[in-house]
Amino acid sequence: MKLLFYAAKTYDRKSFDPELKNYPDTKIDYIEHELDSRSAVLAKGYDAVCAFVNADIGPETLEKLKEAGVRAVLMRCAGYNNVDTETAHKLGIYVKRVPAYSPEAVAELAMALALAVNRRLYKAYNKVRENDYSLKNLRGVNMRGKTAGIVGTGKIGAYMCEQCRGFGMKVIAYDVYENESLKDFVTYVSLDELLRTSDLISLHCPLIESTYHMINIDAIKKMKDDVILVNTSRGALISTNDLIEGIRMNKFLGVGLDVYEEETGNVYEDRSDEIMQHSVTSRLLSFPNVMITSHQGFYTKEALEAIAQTTLQNLTDALAGKQTENDV
């Protein structure tokens, strides 16, 4: 079985190569190119391709993969909003993903971002390094006793709820499907009520048509002043321009983003020597209460091992024509 692994990083090889001992018939070729309509032709002669969150797997890419003889697209992530699944199904290409690799990893980063923006840790770190031991602009709030509003209480959101409970917060949530296992300490409310009453809002729902820009200026205006907003799910859940407007209205105590709309092109690249033109990300970074990380929620040892194991099993299953719960 031949797998072409797009947008490969050193850490991918480190987690996938050791797993190959369990899949002796599988050979992986790693390339740095992102999977898109131009690079899809490189997959000629491969049984399957492996891609990540910022690949462009639209109709054109899928047609070219089909022409190249590819039978499966293996997403080494949970989200698949960048895959045109309808076209894939029409072309008979399996699309499999890794629905749960380490939800704790993402939830822990969400909490880390909430704490970091609350206590301005990114500023404190740099201040002390520069011999500035003043406490100017570092004041935060206690988390204990505050209300955490969790949007989406699936695998990651559920852990976020638990963490917030651990901090002594009151936990409320909004989801289209309520998670019965959380109901002993989580109160489900409408999205409107969550926006109006939460001190911390953390987004853990997928990016789909109904959630696109769910945090827009109308939603932001409903929020309490001095709210903390965290997004570790997908950038386009938040309208960046509206977020900037909200920040300028002094709505937020802090904003922690592991994902943001403009991240494609930035994610996992070193662009430190480039002059950014027309970048809303640069504008976001100019605010003292915003901290952005580069889609690193999944990036723990345990998560990477689990991703490698599940992806290689997905390859075996897909090429055996086996449908599993990892199909999308």
Catalytically active residues, by annotation = 234, 263, 295
User: Residue 76 interacts with ligand NAD (CB under 6 A)?
Assistant: no
Distance CA 164, CA 149 (A): 9
Region of 19-27, 193-201, 280-288, 291-299 interacting with ligand NAD (CB under 6 A): 291-299
User: Residue 298 interacts with ligand NAD (CB under 6 A)?
Assistant: yes
Distance CA 235, CA 137 (A): 28
Q: Which residues contact 287 (CB under 8 A, 6 or more apart)?
A: 247, 255
User: Residue 120 interacts with ligand NAD (CB under 6 A)?
Assistant: no
Distance CA 147, CA 161 (A): 11
User: Using CB atoms, what's the residue nearest to ligand NAD?
Assistant: 154
Among 58, 59, 79, 140, binds ligand NAD (CB under 6 A): 79
Give the nearest distance from C-beta 268 to ligand NAD in angstroms. 11
Among 42, 197, 206, 241, binds ligand NAD (CB under 6 A): 206
Buried b (16+ CB within 10 A) or exposed e, 35-47: bbbebbebbeebb
Among 2, 71, 97, 204, binds ligand NAD (CB under 6 A): 204
> Alpha carbon 248 to chain centroid distance?
25
Among 154, 305, 309, 328, binds ligand NAD (CB under 6 A): 154
Q: With the C-alpha atoms ordered 181, 182, 184, 190, is the resulting torsion angle positive or negative?
A: negative
Among 87, 95, 103, 284, binds ligand NAD (CB under 6 A): 103
Helix crossing, 103-118 with 121-129: angle to 10°?
A: 60
Q: Are 196 and 222 in contact (CB under 8 A)?
A: yes
User: Residue 96 interacts with ligand NAD (CB under 6 A)?
Assistant: no
Region of 25-33, 142-150, 205-213, 243-251 interacting with ligand NAD (CB under 6 A): 205-213
Tokens of 246: 């909200």
Q: Report 13-32 residues binding ligand NAD (CB under 6 A).
A: none
The greatest distance separating any two alpha carbons of the chain, rounded to the nearest whole angstrom, comes to 63
Closer by beta carbon to ligand NAD, 71 or else 155: 155
Site of interaction with ligand NAD (CB under 6 A): 78-79, 100, 103, 106, 151-157, 174-177, 204-207, 210-211, 232-234, 258-259, 295, 297-298
